[in-house]
Amino acid sequence: MAYTYSALGDAYHALNDNKASDDAYEKALANNPGSAYTLNNYAYYLSLRGERLDDAAEMSKRSNELQPNTASFEDTYAWILFRQKKYAEARIWIEKAILHDKNNSAVQAEHYGDIMFYLGDTEAALLNWKKAKQNGADSPVLERKINEKKYTE
């Protein structure tokens, strides 16, 4: 049952129905509070919306405890820390994610660039944004970051 609710949470997120997505994730966690994937995905979706970041951080931290050295989970935690403006700590976690990633994730490269920009290293930010593009990211926001050499949403 927990898997079904988690899958529904993903589906509702894709449809931009945040309330239904959150409700499904809450039901999934009520059925299986130790599901690392559910904790991670729910935390990431909250962070994308900039909502309940403290709750998202707790869920993400727990997913990393349950399943250590998982690049996507480490990236989620780094992104939440970034959204909380905890840039130095975010850098530690994004570097862990990159270390454990075997797929050269474009998302992680872009996140690393965003973090480095706010740490004052524009050169490293630009390098990572370009790497994200080389690894398959293709969005107008990323193009603006590269062209303007600054973070944008």
Report the C-alpha gap between 14 and 11 in whole angstroms: 5
CA distance 17 to 29: 18
Burial of 69 (0-12, 13-18, 19+ CB in 10 A): exposed
In sequence order, the 6+-apart residues with CB closer than 8 A to the CB of 39 are 29, 59, 60, 62, 63, 66
Whole-structure pTM value: 0.94
Which domains, and CATH codes, for the chain?
Answer: 1-86 (1.25.40.10), 103-153 (no CATH)
pLDDT, tens digit (0-9, with 9 covering 90-100), for 42-89: 999 999 999 999 999 999 999 999 999 999 999 999 999 999 999 999
Determine the Cα–Cα distance for residues 112 and 94; give it in Å rounded to an integer.
6
